[in-house]
Structure 1
């Protein structure tokens, strides 16, 4: 499960679609609708939010907005608690986490959709999903760090 902290506008098609599917699964997990994935590290930050289902709804709403802007059709009725990310209590994310995720995305994009590489930031400024508030710090403790 990869719930990108990155702004949805920099995700390539495959990452955006996969994140949508995985966030729908996260929604189900947070609502107690599944037995699997309950301890997945990507869910820690959503569980720490004062309203976890609202937070995942805001996350999904942000993904859907980007998908709509690109002409994709993500079914908004699948978001159980829709919320505007900028009007929801933000979740902190470190700049180290954003940089790590950007590197991870760059490797993925280089292998599957090189034409998307120019869409990725190269100026050191890594934008976050509107639900997240960037702050200084290392890679998040919940991240499972890998080279691929």
Structure 2
């Protein structure tokens, strides 16, 4: 049993769907009182964090929908909760694990990062939507730092920053930046849609349809969709991507 902490865009099809099953298993163990896996490390670290586990589930679902997978198993309704204070494997270790797992297999939507600069590029819009000051700070540091220790710390900072809900204005600002990559791809509809949900949906659709690489390799395509969309729309199928 494993629940990853890094963005699910890094997971290949097998790992993504596998984590979705594991999260639902945890819902049953923690919320339903089932005994199986009751002492498993993942059960122990999520036992007081069901609200956060629901958010992780929603993030997985947005990644599934982005890739064209149907989702028909909703999560339980839970109040807000803290995120786990510990990791089974730290974020930088999770990248190492995936590199080993995928050495002879396809990777996920987002390439596994080889350095801090690539890791930062993949998270830029997710951070911009939450904290512009942190966005500027990390950007200046990532451009000149190449040590393994920096990658480890950056992986942790980015993973934990993405657990914070973005303010509405900052979310819209980040989405408008992303819109700049796709606005000219459909001359009949050059203006951005009005609501965050509509704008995010159009960005995702165009990024997939036209293969906009920078956006397709961004955590924001699934991460920000969790906050831009209502959860009521989480069961609707989206354009298929062959991963």
Whether the TM-score (by the shorter chain) exceeds 0.5 is: yes
| Partner of residue 31, structure 1 | 31
Which of 112, 117, 120 is matched with 1:120 structurally? 112
| Partner of residue 111, structure 1 | 104
**1:116/1:56 CA distance change after superposition, 3 Å:** closer
- How much has 1:119 moved relative to structure 2? 1.1
Give the TM-score, by structure 2 length: 0.44
Number of equivalenced pairs: 123
- In the alignment, the residues of structure 2 paired with residue 75 and residue 53 of structure 1 have an alpha-carbon distance, to the nearest angstrom, of 20
| Partner of residue 8, structure 1 | 8
- In the alignment, the residues of structure 1 paired with residue 73 and residue 23 of structure 2 have an alpha-carbon distance, to the nearest angstrom, of 13
- In the alignment, the residues of structure 1 paired with residue 39 and residue 28 of structure 2 have an alpha-carbon distance, to the nearest angstrom, of 13
**Structure with greater proportional helix content:** 2
- In the alignment, the residues of structure 1 paired with residue 63 and residue 78 of structure 2 have an alpha-carbon distance, to the nearest angstrom, of 15
Which runs of 5 or more structure 1 residues have no equivalent in the other structure?
133-148
Answer whether contact 1:20 1:63 (CA < 8 A) is retained.
yes
Residue range with higher mean Cα deviation, 67-76 or 101-110: 67-76
| Partner of residue 54, structure 2 | 57
Answer whether contact 2:29 2:35 (CA < 8 A) is retained.
yes
Give the TM-score, by structure 1 length: 0.69
Which runs of 5 or more structure 2 residues have no equivalent in the other structure?
120-154, 165-243
Q: Please identify the structure whose Cα radius of gyration is greater.
A: 2
Answer whether contact 2:3 2:23 (CA < 8 A) is retained.
yes
Deviation string 1:56-88 (CA, Å, 9 cap, x unpaired) is 2111111101111111112242x11268xxx76
Answer whether contact 2:10 2:112 (CA < 8 A) is retained.
yes
**Structure with greater proportional strand content:** 1
**1:106/1:82 CA distance change after superposition, 3 Å:** farther
Answer whether contact 1:53 1:81 (CA < 8 A) is retained.
no
- In the alignment, the residues of structure 2 paired with residue 20 and residue 90 of structure 1 have an alpha-carbon distance, to the nearest angstrom, of 18
- In the alignment, the residues of structure 1 paired with residue 20 and residue 105 of structure 2 have an alpha-carbon distance, to the nearest angstrom, of 18
RMSD over aligned CA atoms reads 2.7
- In the alignment, the residues of structure 2 paired with residue 25 and residue 63 of structure 1 have an alpha-carbon distance, to the nearest angstrom, of 14
- In the alignment, the residues of structure 2 paired with residue 120 and residue 67 of structure 1 have an alpha-carbon distance, to the nearest angstrom, of 18
**1:100/1:72 CA distance change after superposition, 3 Å:** same
Answer whether contact 2:4 2:19 (CA < 8 A) is retained.
yes
- How much has 1:118 moved relative to structure 2? 6.8
